[in-house]
Amino acid sequence: MVNTEDSWISSRTGIRERRIAAADETASTMGVLASREALAISGLPPDSLDLVIGATCTPDHIFPACASLVQDSLGAKKAAAFDINAACSGFVYALATACQFIAAGSYNNVLVVGSEVYSRILDWQDRSTCVLFGDGAGAVVIQASDSPSGPFSFILGNDGSGAGTIYTPGPCGVNDGRYFITMKGPETYRFAVNIMCQATKEVVAAAGLDLSDIDLIIPHQANTRIIKSAARLLDIPLDKFFVNVDRYGNTSAASIPIALCEAVEEGRVKNGDRLVMVGFGGGLSWAAMLIEWAPGERTPQT
């Protein structure tokens, strides 16, 4: 459909595979599937959830929120629900929000789900965007704990003067050229590399740690060249970065939770490991969080 070939895509982006949602799939239906898996792993029944936070910029509707549809499908009848749109930084924004509700003592059990269907807002004749983005969803359950917590910090940032660098001017799924994603590639690349380095350094310093104390960095999966450039500028070995963009492409707010889940499944994350999750995207937005991995005890099913 465009003047390109596989070798051009893989050499410039590192992307070799992507997933595209079926016609009857949406951000909410994919979010429900990811959420059910997260709940099953946690052992938490849906009616124990206090809050569902969705991270998406490709919701099923302008309103109601994607999180509202997920909440209903799960049967989480006691949970409040709302969405956060911070583009590709959205999952870390949502995770930070969930942590604040728990730290304040307001809620004990929060589901955070990142889900995107970027294929619905792509111009398949635009080589600068259509080769990059894919669809997907990932979810985590955050719970209050009486155990002492390890190092923790987060930073959120935004520079609205760069809003025209990458944006979509209309609602998802209209299938109209006026509403396709638009991106200035070179400007986006420079922003991404610089802000990934800056945000990683800031969030590590905020936790009172050094970069050498970090066991794994889980970055937004936008492009392998961005990740490699950031690793070089941070002077951190590339094997300390978890990378799966080759299998999924850029899934925006879903990319970090998908990568986190795969890192855990592959044994790349162990109890006590210190992780940095760092995202960047439209807004121009950025977010980073440092945590010490401490999966909770499974809650018995009721």
- Supply the residues annotated as catalytic: 88, 220, 250
What is the token pair recorded at 78? 């006691």
Q: Identify the CA nearest to 104 among candidates 50, 144, 162.
A: 144
CA distance 157 to 201: 14
278: closest CA among 264, 267, 289?
289
Round to whole Å and give the CA distance between 242 and 249: 14
Cβ–Cβ < 8 Å for 94, 142: no
The DSSP secondary structure of 55-124, one letter per residue, reads E-SS-SSSSS-HHHHHHHHHT-TT-EEEEE--GGGHHHHHHHHHHHHHHTTS-SEEEEEEEEEGGGG--T
Task: Name every residue whose Cβ is closer than 8 Å to that of residue 201 and which is 6 or more positions away in sequence.
Answer: 211, 234
Q: In what order do the strands lie in the sheet with 135-143?
A: 80-84, 51-55, 109-117, 135-143
Letter for the amino acid at 276? Answer: V
